[in-house]
Amino acid sequence: MSHNEQDIKRQVRQFYDKVGWMEVADGVYQNARYEDLRPVSQEYIQRCHQRVARHLLPTGDLFLDAGSGPIQYPAYVEYSRGYRLRVCADISITALKAARARVGSHGAFVVADISRLPFAPKRFDAVVSLHTIHHLPAEQHLQAYGELHRVLAGGRKAVVVNGWSFSPLNNLFERFIAWRKGRKKADQPEAWETDKGTFVNKNQAAGLRTALGDKMKFDLLVWRSASTNVLRFFIRPEWLGRYWLRLLYRLEEIFPRFFGEKGLYPLVVISK
């Protein structure tokens, strides 16, 4: 690992240890400011979370959560309910202590870097890695995908969620918001993203397809098409937001590959 790569990881770890996983309210972390937690969006957000579980076996022995954080949402806890043990791997010790407080003896907690997992090949019946690979230096993304694939048992699936660096669909709505807010540069990134706090490096759909290419079997589906910024702006109770989200969810279900590629957050389903 080069000095630069080490510096990036140190900075990311310090951010999560000292800022991201600080509780700002009971069970709510600073990191949750990047999520839309309003009641009007709750049903949609919950259904997007459930898309992860759909691809995993309901029961099994070992379940790996790579970059687990504190397992911050109740929906996340459900993914491993039918497994003997949930192995949480994270570079942040603060995250792992909080994860232990949440799932106790159902979990095992390992300080580890997802680009070099300290586990034997084919050890896990299910693997998830949510919003984590984007914290790695670009050169290590493929290595991390390779590690998730390596530790996955044959006939099983891994699910990875990370945002694209650019989404043509989401960007349309961002531009409208920027125009409404009277910004000079309409295509500048959304405010909460510029305020991301630590190192983030995202992929584009074509780049990821090429990189994973013949290295593993995978499918790009939709996790969620809209950013938190777009949801917060357009989805309002007084504008019947809940119903618009039901329509969006339905469309995503009918065209999962289209929204997975053109929307903001894909679900990368890796099969072995």
Residues that bind ligand SAM (CB under 6 A): 9, 12, 16, 31, 67-69, 72, 90-92, 95, 113-115, 130-132, 135-136
Instruction: Tell me the one-letter amino acid at 179.
Output: W
User: Measured from the CB of residue 64, what is the shortest distance to ligand SAM in angstroms?
Assistant: 11
Could you identify the residue written with the tokens 């709505």? Answer: 173
Whichever of 68 and 171 has its CB closer to ligand SAM, that residue is 68
| Count of beta carbons in the 10 Å neighbourhood of residue 241 | 18
CA atoms within 13 A on the CB side of 30: 14
CA distances from 242 to 45, 172, 236 (A): 11, 21, 8
Q: What is d(CA 152, CA 93) in angstroms, rounded to the nearest whole number?
A: 24
Residue with tokens 């890695």: 129
Beta bridge partners of 224: 265
Q: Report d(CA 149, CA 156) in Å as an integer.
A: 10
